């Protein structure tokens, strides 16, 4: 009679009621005090885990055990994603990007200019409203200014000078002719057709000290309203990022067409995947650093000089080429001039031949 093979049990024998827990879960936030992890299969080497997620262990511990796969995944160390995704642009590239964003969405092009000229993060620029601006009317003659309140924890409240030409552009788009964009099949504009914006100085309330009317420059879309705008809700950063993704695709096609014709493109040195909405602040800091001190740049952008130098001010490829040309072109010219008489005299060592020098 053949011996019948019994399947192995999925788990070991049941613990006795009086037995104590031999090994608790190594996750610091685990509350399963009655679960013994001695024979649990959820193990991992200690050097592959995040130490701050574990409970206090003995120095000789090498392998960590957990009560579940979920706790093991929570303690597993993940490689920090390199902070990047930002590509500073030159003046020519910034103008071309504005034209591309204008064809994608005119509001995104205006928001891009506002974030660029103020050096502010996109999270605050999306919430811009008419109450922030003053001196926009060109007939009054007051210098245009922008007062940025604390809209989030990263925003430094400040008042900065606004470029007069940019203020005139905003005034003309709002009060005279809207900024047209889009394609031939689908035309778009900013301000939106149903939007009524005005940069005129509104009277202030007597008690609250605030303007009686403040309108958002970039209202968001109602997700359940089939394209209907919510005039009290600002545009989201995700929508602005999606506009940049569409602009990346257009720039990639333009660059491929230029290369097919044997021509160069202004975005040849730019990684288009790293051209995101946060490039506005990095471009502004890089361009301002070429014409002003770090103290002035910090006052405009609302960021400390240390953070500007560490993360935002970036030596672009164009600046590196200019520095290399200014530093080494005279050196190359001097070497070329030294080579000319050497071809007639036989050597550059004062007219002596190599045979004489080696004797």
Which domains does the chain show, CATH number per domain? 23-78 (no CATH), 91-201+212-312 (1.10.443.10)
Contact 86, 313 (CB under 8 A): no
Closest CA to 267 of 316, 211, 311: 316
Q: What is the pLDDT along the chain (359 residues), one digit of tens a residue?
A: 566 666 655 555 666 777 788 888 999 989 888 888 888 889 999 988 988 889 988 888 899 999 999 999 989 877 655 444 467 888 899 999 999 999 999 999 999 999 999 999 898 999 999 999 999 988 887 899 999 999 888 888 999 999 999 999 999 999 999 999 988 788 899 999 888 888 876 655 554 444 445 789 999 988 776 778 888 899 999 999 999 999 999 999 999 999 999 999 999 888 888 888 888 888 999 889 888 888 999 999 988 988 888 888 877 777 778 888 888 888 888 887 877 765 555 544 555 554 544 44
Tell me the backbone φ, ψ of residue 70, rounded to 5 degrees.
Answer: -65, -45
Question: In this structure, are residues 102 and 109 in contact, taking their beta carbons and an 8 Å threshold?
Answer: yes
Phi/psi at 134 (nearest 5 deg)?
-145, 150
> What are the structure tokens assigned to 180, written together?
């047209």
**Helix axis angle, 164-175 to 106-118, nearest 10°:** 160
pTM over 0.85: no
User: To which residue do tokens 């420059």 refer?
Assistant: 217
pLDDT at 208: 47
> Are 218 and 234 contacting, i.e. CB atoms less than 8 angstroms apart?
yes
Given a contact cutoff of 8 angstroms between Cβ atoms, the answer to whether 119 and 126 are in contact is no
Report yes or no: 38 and 65 within 8 Å, Cβ to Cβ: yes
Q: Are 91 and 287 in contact (CB under 8 A)?
A: yes
* Cβ atoms of 269 and 317 closer than 8 Å: yes
* Tokens 């520095």 found at: 323
- CA 160 to CA 307: how far, in whole Å? 19
**Beta-carbon-side half-sphere exposure of residue 133 (alpha carbons within 13 Å):** 31
- pLDDT given for residue 354 in this prediction: 46
Q: What pLDDT shows up at residue 202?
A: 60
Angstrom distances, CA of residue 77 to CA of 58, 62, 136: 19, 15, 52
**Can you tell me the distance from the alpha carbon of 272 to that of 279, in angstroms, rounded to the nearest whole number?**
11
What span, in angstroms and rounded, lies between the C-alpha atoms of 46 and 23? 15
Give the pLDDT score at 205: 55
């Amino acid at each position: 009679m053949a011996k019948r093979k019994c399947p192995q049990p999925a788990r070991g024998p049941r613990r006795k009621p009086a037995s104590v827990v031999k090994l608790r879960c190594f996750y610091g936030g685990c509350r399963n005090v009655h679960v013994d992890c001695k024979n649990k299969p959820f193990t991992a080497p200690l050097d592959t885990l995040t130490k701050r997620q574990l409970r206090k262990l003995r120095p000789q511990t090498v392998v960590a055990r957990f009560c579940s796969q979920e706790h093991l995944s929570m303690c597993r160390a993940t490689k920090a994603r390199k902070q990047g995704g930002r590509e500073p642009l030159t003046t020519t590239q910034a103008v071309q990007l504005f034209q591309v964003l204008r064809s994608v969405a005119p509001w995104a092009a205006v928001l891009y200019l506002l974030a660029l000229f103020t050096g502010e993060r996109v999270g605050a620029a999306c919430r811009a409203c008419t109450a922030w601006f003053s001196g926009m009317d060109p007939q009054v003659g007051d210098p245009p200014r922008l007062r940025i309140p604390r809209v989030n924890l990263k925003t430094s409240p400040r008042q900065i000078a606004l470029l007069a030409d940019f203020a005139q552009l905003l005034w003309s788009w709002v009060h005279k002719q809207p900024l047209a964009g889009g394609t031939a099949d689908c035309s778009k504009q900013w301000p939106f057709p149903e939007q009524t914006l005005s940069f005129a100085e509104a009277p202030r309330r007597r008690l609250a000290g605030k303007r009686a009317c403040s309108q958002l420059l970039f209202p968001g879309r109602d997700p359940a309203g089939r394209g209907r705008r919510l005039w009290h809700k600002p545009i989201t950063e995700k929508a602005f990022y999606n506009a940049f993704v569409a602009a990346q695709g257009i720039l990639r096609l333009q660059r491929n067409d230029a290369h097919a014709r044997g021509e160069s493109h202004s975005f040849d040195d730019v990684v288009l995947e790293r051209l995101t909405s946060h490039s506005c602040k990095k471009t502004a800091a890089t361009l301002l650093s070429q014409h002003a001190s770090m103290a002035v740049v910090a006052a405009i952008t609302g960021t400390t000089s240390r953070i500007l130098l560490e993360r935002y001010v970036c030596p672009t490829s164009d600046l590196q080429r200019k520095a290399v040309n200014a530093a080494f072109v005279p050196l190359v010219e001097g070497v070329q001039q030294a080579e000319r008489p050497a071809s007639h005299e036989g050597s550059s060592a004062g007219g002596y031949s190599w045979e004489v020098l080696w004797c």
